[in-house]
Every structure is written in C-alpha cells, then in structure tokens.
Structure 1
C-alpha cells in the first residue's frame, strides 16, 4: 500500500544546517515528504536563503513584532496551519513554545537537541558535557511536549569526548550526527513507521525504549 507524500513545515532561527540535511533527503527521494514552507522568527538568516535556493516558501514571522509569547504563538499556529502540514520540524528554532501551541501539534512535531537527553536540557550542552568529564556526548531527536527538551525520545547518536576535545570541535562532531539522525527520524515518520502513542514512541508497531533508538 502506497503512503501519501507528507507535507513538512520547518521552523528555524538561524543558519539552517539541519534544514539543508532535510532538503537534501527530501529532494533525493529518501524521505516520502515535501518541505512546503520554512518559517523563521528572525529576519535575514541563512536558513531562509537555503529555503529560497531550494524553491521552498521562505516565511518570516518576527517575534519582536508581537506583544506577548502567546500572541506570537497564535500567529505562528495560524501561519503553520495554512500550510496543512503533517509534520512540523524544529531546526534550531530558538523559542520556548507555549503549552497550548505544543498540544495543538502533539504527535506531529519534532525537535533535535544537542545532548544525550535527559542529560543537559537547555543551553551550553557541549560545555556542560566537557566540564562534567563525560566520556561521550551526542544529540537526540524527540517528539515535542510542553516540557522543555522533555518529550519522548526517538533517536540518539553519540560521539566520544577525548581528553583534549574543545567545545568547538565537539559541537562540530555533534552537528555531523544531527545531520544523520534528523532526516532518518523524518523518513520514519513520513513512511508512517513512527508514531507517538499514549504508552510511548513506537517504530513499526514496536515500542522503543525510553532512551530512544541509538544509531
């Protein structure tokens, strides 16, 4: 049975390197989906250029033009819903989203976080991992819930931390793995293999461990 091609909206605030990985994977046919719009809350960012270069609608919704977080999220929700998406992908979207917004897209919104969650939620994850003396660090794709960086885990990829590893080199190594696992998670979702159930995340009908799948 064929699966209908999925409509994807990507939200970002910066350079869009994960967006580029997703563009490459959709245009190659690896992902059974199409990025129908890219939305940034900041003007002039590289991510919007990447979208335009790929022939994707590049939309700006400047959060500074809205009087409150709730007002911005309401406008963002209206803009997203105009695109009729099956999946919303956060790709470096530097906004804390309101609970009502998140619940509206529950089960169809992904985020990627630069740590092996549940370790190091929030910012400065690479520095925190080095300072803690960890032997490994990495990244995690998860479903978004109202808890910041706390949604059910889908995929994780680890990188080793050597004794002389700098924050910059660790960040670069983690970003390489982000570009591996984010398209994979989106591929699974668009093939209707991946779902969020009341009991957790399932892949091909089998529940994943709470730590997600390691690749």
Structure 2
C-alpha cells in the first residue's frame, strides 16, 4: 500500500478544525505530520501534542519581515516532507513564498459563502448586511485577493432572528467540522479540484 499523503495544519487559535480533521481518522486518507501555530498560546498546539503530532511556533514578531517568517514556515514544512498545507483558523496572510512552494496544495476554510464577506469578521459582516444566510467555504489559496481562490465546497447556514456574532459563529463552525475533513479527503486522494467542487458544493437555496 502506498504511503498516505502528508498534511500539515496551520492554525492560530483553538484548533477545533484540526481536531475535526484528526477525528475523521482513516477516512481522511492522509497523515497529519505537523502543526504550526502563529501564536505561542494557540490552544490548537495542545490538541496536536496530545495526539503526538510535531508542532512548531512561527510568530511574525520573531522574524525581520513577513516574507522571512513565511520562508521559515516553508523550511519547516519541507523538513516534514509535507504535500498538502491545510489552514485551520490561520490568521495571517501567507506570503507567495509559501504558495509557490506548494502550488495548488494550500487549502483554507472561511466562515462565509464566498465570494460574499471575505476577510476579517465575516459573521459580523453578514449580520451588518442583513443577510438571510451565510455559511462556510473551502477554497484553494492562490496569489491574489484574500479568500479569492477557487471555491471547492460550501455549506449554508441560515441567519436566525436574534442571532449575534457568537451564536452565528457557533453554528457555522459545526458545518465547518463536517465539510472540511470531507473536502480535504477528496483533495488528498487525488481528485482534481473541479471534481471536488462538483461533488462537494453543498450550498442550499
């Protein structure tokens, strides 16, 4: 049996999507070989360490420039022999040095139905816009506008009367935990991005 694709997860916070990927078990079709956090206090580091996954910390302040910081990420990923880079709550814009090192193999999940509400605080944006629904989107990360890469999968979440940013974020996160492992699994198993999109575009009317 050929070895499973090697995946690394980049995170900045609690690591709930990392946990969802790991809980997918053998169905993920990949081995998570490392986790990099942009903050030393990221709770996701504990999840990785409890599962025996190597970790690293890459804080922007520890490097002269953003490019230097991201070059260090590339070095670490290459040392782990990573094939796929999965962003799971990574709160920094990646420099092209990472994207060029792993072309077409960097994937992100964003809590909105892209192209609506890209960037920071998308739940707040959706509420302020009076939207009736929002959701989450899995997309490839490519050079260009933030959250502007090809969309692979989406799941919709209705905005309910009385919703605030916290309640809406919680319901979106539940859908993320369902959608992200399934989409990553199809990618790492060799399905072309267009095939993944056709199979996993779950936005409801």
* Bucket of the pairwise TM-score, normalised by the shorter protein: over 0.9
Asked if 2 retains the 8 angstrom alpha-carbon contact of 1:110 and 1:143, the reply is yes
TM-score, structure 2 length as denominator? 0.93
More strand by share: 1
Query: Which residue, out of 28, 32, 35, partners 1:31?
Result: 28
**Alignment counterpart, residue 150 of structure 1, candidates 148, 151, 154:** 148
Of 182, 190, 203, which residue of structure 1 is paired with 2:195?
A: 203
More helix by share: 2
- The count of residues paired between Structure 1 and Structure 2 equals 202
Question: More displaced, 93-102 or 73-82?
Answer: 93-102
The 5 Å alignment of 1:48-67 reads 48-67=45-64
Deviation per CA, 1:14-37, whole angstroms, max 9, x where unpaired? 110000001111xx3111111000
Separation of aligned partners in 1, 2:125 and 2:57: 33
Measure, in 1, the Cα distance between the counterparts of 2:157 and 2:151. Answer: 18
The equivalent of 2:20 in structure 1 is 21
The runs of 5 or more residues in structure 2 that have no matched partner are none
Instruction: Give yes or no for contact 1:3–1:192 (8 Å, CA) kept in 2.
Output: no
Gaps of 5+ in 1: 196-200
In the TM superposition, residue 44 of structure 1 has moved relative to its aligned partner by 2.4
Moved more, 74-83 or 99-108: 99-108
TM-score of the aligned structures, taking structure 1 as reference length: 0.89
Q: Which runs of 4+ in 1 moved over 6 A?
A: none
